[in-house]
């Protein structure tokens, strides 16, 4: 049995034990004693911790699987034929020159090879091969990239959307048809700059055993992926993308909870049906860990738990039959907060501009015998159809 499967089995056992404990106490009394409450909360903490560990293992497994993939193309032509050379940032010359630049091994040949990928600010575009690894890493670190529509742009992208829809009408015999046109508007996806500085000691860079390529790729993905996820949820559109929780151009409020400190089964059910049926087949829930902890306790009218545990190692837990995603950047349950999102995230568009740029900084950290690597990307994101995602908002005080 794999480690991930063992963790799922352990979590399932913990969930079953918690349910049995809660049911046994409920049969005796409508309320839990302080001792039983403390015991049950310890069980919940173990379940949440196991869920976190499963999520980390799944992310790590995805990255490991990506690294196992071949980085080159197999030879499929006849031996006497010459394989077509790749050009631009996909060429081997550019790849070798790029990493020689990152390691500080600079000569005229390196500079010449890097001209095709130079950036006005002094950096260089990442080779195509590593661009794919970076994108895969971002998908592992940022839950929204797995479900959103991601496009590549070279300039501002204008997306036409229907602002209001035309309709049909019943007519008397011979009556004129009343015009009912759809009206259109546009949503513009620009590009906001996101960057991070990565420091590495000179000793590590000069150590041939140190895989600087993989370190930079994974560290960039971890930092930028987390910052992207935060903006894609809570961004206000000012020098950053417009997030799903934005009051302007974000998800529509589908349900307002009666309490500022709790959720009910009926409210989750109302949120599910506030979304039009056309969007439900691909819809997912997004919540904070603390909200997940509360939702695990909810039962329907027949006493069945609303939360459904995953049936396999590669499947998420579900709520009302739809996947549940957790993010540390979702608001917790509280006054005026939008604590639950439910919708089809394919209508959340992410626009990646140009490519990722790395720049080596030789002087800035030299006194500490370190070299800096400035990594940047340009990205924007918007929900192009607000009705495709609904939010549950708690009432104001």
- Is there a single domain that holds both residue 202 and residue 305? yes
Q: Which domain holds residue 104?
A: 89-164+181-397
pLDDT at residue 116, as a whole number: 41
Question: Domain for residue 25, yes or no?
Answer: yes
pLDDT interval class at 203 (50, 70, 90): confident
pLDDT at residue 281, as a whole number: 93
Q: Per-residue pLDDT averaged across 89-112, rounded?
A: 57
> Rounded to the nearest 5°, which phi and psi values hold at 145?
-65, -25
pLDDT exceeds cutoff 70 at 145: yes
- Is there a single domain that holds both residue 56 and residue 98? no
* Residue finishing a domain among 18, 44, 62: 62
pLDDT at residue 117, as a whole number: 44
Question: Domain for residue 269, yes or no?
Answer: yes
Instruction: Judge contact between 380 and 146, C-beta under 8 A.
Output: no
pLDDT at residue 394, as a whole number: 94
pLDDT exceeds cutoff 80 at 392: yes
pLDDT at residue 169, as a whole number: 66
* Ordered DSSP codes for 146-205: GTSEEEEESS-EEEEEEEE--------TTPPPPP---EEEEEEE--EEEEEEEEEEHHHH
User: pLDDT digits over 178-202, tens only?
Assistant: 665 555 567 888 889 998 888 888 8
pTM of the model: 0.65
Instruction: Judge contact between 224 and 375, C-beta under 8 A.
Output: yes
- Strand pairing class (157-164; 370-383): unpaired
3-state secondary structure of 219: helix
3-state secondary structure of 256: strand
Question: Domain for residue 11, yes or no?
Answer: yes
Structurally, the chain folds into a number of domains equal to 2
Beta bridge partners of 101: none
- Is there a single domain that holds both residue 314 and residue 276? yes
- Which of the listed ranges 142-146, 309-313, 335-339 does the model predict with the highest average pLDDT? 335-339
CA nearest neighbour of 201 among 96, 103, 95: 103
Q: Per-residue pLDDT averaged across 86-101, rounded?
A: 60
Q: Per-residue pLDDT averaged across 371-394, rounded?
A: 90
pLDDT exceeds cutoff 60 at 81: no
Q: Per-residue pLDDT averaged across 69-75, rounded?
A: 55
- For residue 377, give both structure tokens: 């990307």
User: pLDDT digits over 9-23, tens only?
Assistant: 888 888 888 888 877
Spatial neighbors of 26 by CB under 8 A, at least 6 apart, are: none
Question: Domain for residue 69, yes or no?
Answer: no
- Is there a single domain that holds both residue 11 and residue 50? yes
SS3 labels along 300-354: CCCCCECEECCCCCCCCCEECCEEEEECCCCCCCCCCCEEEEEECHHHEEEEEEE
- Is there a single domain that holds both residue 145 and residue 276? yes
Instruction: Judge contact between 26 and 36, C-beta under 8 A.
Output: no
Question: Domain for residue 79, yes or no?
Answer: no
Question: Domain for residue 84, yes or no?
Answer: no
- Express as a percent the part of the chain with pLDDT over 90: 26
pLDDT interval class at 242 (50, 70, 90): very high
- Is there a single domain that holds both residue 49 and residue 100? no
- For residue 50, give both structure tokens: 């196991």
């Amino acid at each position: 049995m794999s480690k991930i499967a063992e963790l799922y089995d352990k979590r399932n056992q913990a969930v079953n034990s918690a349910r049995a404990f809660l049911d046994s106490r409920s049969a005796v009394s409508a309320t839990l004693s302080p001792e039983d409450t403390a015991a049950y909360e310890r069980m919940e903490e173990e379940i949440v911790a196991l869920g976190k560990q499963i999520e980390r293992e799944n992310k790590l497994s995805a990255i490991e699987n990506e690294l196992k993939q071949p980085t080159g193309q197999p030879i499929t032509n006849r031996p006497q034929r010459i394989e077509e050379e790749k050009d631009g940032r996909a060429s081997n010359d550019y790849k070798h020159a790029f990493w020689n630049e990152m390691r500080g091994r600079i000569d005229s040949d390196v500079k010449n090879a890097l001209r095709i990928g130079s950036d006005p600010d002094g950096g260089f575009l990442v080779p195509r091969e590593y661009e794919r690894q970076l994108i895969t890493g971002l998908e592992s670190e940022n839950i929204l990239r797995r479900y959103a529509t991601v496009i590549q742009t070279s300039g501002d992208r204008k997306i036409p959307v229907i602002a209001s829809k035309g309709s049909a009408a019943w007519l008397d015999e011979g009556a004129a048809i009343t015009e009912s046109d759809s009206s259109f508007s546009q949503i513009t996806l620009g590009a906001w700059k996101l960057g991070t500085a990565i420091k590495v000691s000179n000793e590590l860079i000069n150590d041939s055993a140190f895989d600087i390529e993989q370190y930079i790729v994974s560290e960039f993905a971890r930092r930028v992926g987390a910052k992207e996820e935060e903006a894609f949820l809570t961004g206000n559109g000012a020098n950053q993308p417009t997030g799903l929780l934005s009051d302007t151009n974000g998800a529509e409020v589908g349900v307002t909870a009666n309490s500022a400190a709790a959720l009910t089964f009926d409210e989750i059910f109302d949120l599910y049906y506030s979304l039009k049926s056309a969007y439900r087949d691909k819809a997912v829930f997004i919540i904070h860990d603390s909200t997940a902890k509360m939702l695990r306790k909810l039962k329907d009218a027949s006493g069945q738990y609303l939360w459904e545990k995953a049936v396999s190692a590669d499947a998420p837990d579900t709520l009302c039959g739809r996947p549940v995603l957790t993010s540390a950047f979702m608001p917790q349950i509280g006054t005026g907060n939008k604590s639950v999102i439910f919708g089809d995230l394919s209508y959340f568009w992410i626009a990646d501009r140009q490519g990722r740029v790395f720049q080596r900084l030789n002087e800035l950290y030299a006194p500490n015998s370190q070299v800096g690597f400035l990594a940047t990307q340009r990205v924007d994101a918007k929900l192009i159809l607000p009705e495709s995602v609904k939010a549950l908002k708690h009432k104001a005080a």
